[in-house]
Structure 1
Amino acid sequence: MYLDNAATTFPKPDCVCDAVDRSMRFGAAAAGRGNHQGTYDADRIVTECRRYLAKLLGVPSPSQVVFTLNCTDSLNTVFRGFLNHGDRVLASCLDHNSVLRPLQAMKEQPGIIVDMIDFDPVSGLIDIDMFARELQKQPVRLVVLTHASNVTGRIQPVRELSLLAQAAGAAVLLDAAQTAGHIAVQMHDWQIDFLAAAGHKGLLGPLGTGVLCIRKGLENQLQPLRFGGTGTASESLEQPNEMPYRYESGNLNLPGIAGLHAATDWILKQSLPELHTAAHQRTQRLLHGLSEIPNIQLLTPFTDEITGIVSFNLAFQDCREVALILDQSFDIQCRAGFHCAPLAHQTLGTFERGGSVRLSPGVFTSDEHIQQAIEAVTAIAEHC
């Protein structure tokens, strides 16, 4: 039983696997590079996938959707291309190492300033008063917002935070790794400047696919992370300014994008609200079922504003050992540890324990799976 969907979703819809296979077997052409039928077919897949992603993420134009290697690549593109010496960044203790490590490295070179906002360990919410105060202390170049924690699953009030940041003159980068494809995301309405997402999580695409959405006009302020051939303006030695090709040097991962194309088409046809409602009900059932187990510490708050993540610890039991027992004795695959979010575990008080166990249902998780997981954790707790 697979309950590690916060890491990467599995299984994928059959149409995704079929699209990747078809691209590998019959789609040899490179998108944007040629004038034959194969390149036209590749261009169609890429163009349609941009359109589907724009619709799912609330992006006004498909030309604002850039394909990247993964969400980490998207985040690094913004950090390296937008920030300069002396720029101040506001991040939070909810952030993943995909945010924390690049910023840590950039504190030394080129020399940026990074200030951290904490969150309430009970509600899981960013301290908005602290956030507002930090915005007023000194100018902020970039605010990084984690849409939902990959430890607690708590969804943040992104629109409210974004409007505060914009009023203070800061640009906003939204890390939607845990929400894109799971819940409605509205880049334009929430006044988000940059949106980073993984293609292989809630968007149900293959590994090796990522998305960076850039607000129109900001391409003049964001330098590319990589330079090279784009299939456009090939007569010039200068990197083109045209979106989205400015940020897509080198051949695109066409098999991956073909899979993401099929995945996003599938999500739109199934209806995102309906998929979310069903997944949310299973997550709530898991959360409330686990809450009845004696000596359990739940890190996921009791609220409707969570994604498909339930994290916990059992008293007197190492989280990695619990995950190992779930795997070897109950055939339940999950994740234990820090989940690449060490500061979140410090705030939650679980750092010294080595983190927590995380169960993350997906769109193909059944009610029977949820019940089996509750019974398995109950059995482990009874033998602690």
Structure 2
Amino acid sequence: MRPDTESRRGRAALMAAHCAGMVDLVALPVWVGVLISHYGLAPQQAGGLATLFLAGAVLASLVVAPRLDRLPARALTALGYGLAALAFATISRLPAGLPMALLHALAGVAAGAALSVTHGTIARSARPHRQFAAAGMALGLFAIVFLGATPPLVAAVGGPVLFVVFAGVMAVAALACLLAFPRPAGDAALAPARALTGAGPAVSAARPGRLSPAVWAGIVGVACMGLVQSMTFSFLERVGVERGWSGGAIQGVLVALGLVNLAPAVLAAVLERRWSARAVMCTGPVVQAALVAVIMTVPWFPAWAAAASVFAAVMIFTHTFAFGLLARLDASGRAMAATPAMLMTGAAIGPVLGGTLVQTAGYASLAVAAAGFGALAVACFARVPQSRATGAAALRHAA
């Protein structure tokens, strides 16, 4: 019998699937760094390969999300992560070139389809904020292991081992999904649990064919934050290397980043009913842009290390609140099934945009770009209602 989203087996499978699908949120500095230092690619080319993976995930999410309730969730997640594992295993045996680029795109399509179903299932759980926070905690633990073990392994064995690690992560997720991917909670199960959290009926429940303007605004805001995250994170390691800081010092900061990443999901779960989701969403892009300014313009190691250590945590914390609020505004799960598209539309542009800016205008130009996209994100999040009553009124007005 298939477990549900509230069972231990079901939660474990969702956590494993989330970690594999969100690997870019953890791995981009190492990923782009390996492509530059071990494969001899220019920053723009290295960012472009990461962009191909992310663009593939966006495309898959856009196809899967509208069809979420008609797809075999367990089969699709297991197959998606299995194909991604095969693609990365093949990449590990190839030199830089067109086949590697095509396989990056294929891996993105496969992982993105699986992640879309994963997030849609989390969104249709009884407590989507709490469930997404738990997945974020798992991602934090994964980050500690990955960032602590992978760079030394790459240094000892060579760049291709990174893609072997990616293949292993995807294979573990595929097995977990095959054995225990849960069925989503039905509407009858959702109602009492969401009533306890103040979620009530979804804004778009009366009109399942449409997403409200508020949900669309939230989607664009998350995409803007994802763009800033990937644009900066892709060159987090490289800016430290170019400033002459030792590899050991940079590695220590990456490990610290993984440790810090445990905190935001825990805090988001604790503060779910105490802090306004809308206020968190409007503050997150401002803090994110300020950290980018420090990382890319301040040539003082302690300041860079402090900003770099908490940088990803801001995205995780803000996105957890955004996920919970938008899931309440759209109980169908379709909007949150498009989470890979939200995050990775921006994230897909980020590495290649960041590489282009670095090559043409230097690292400081990333801070300017982050400020602009941060302002756009705040403007979008300001349109998302905190209460279901406000959201319902906005939907009726739009109709």
Coarse TM-score class (shorter-chain normalised): under 0.3
Structure number with bigger Rg:
1
Greater per-residue strand proportion:
1
Higher relative contact order (CA 8 A, sep 6+): 2
**TM-score between the two structures when normalised by the length of structure 2:** 0.27
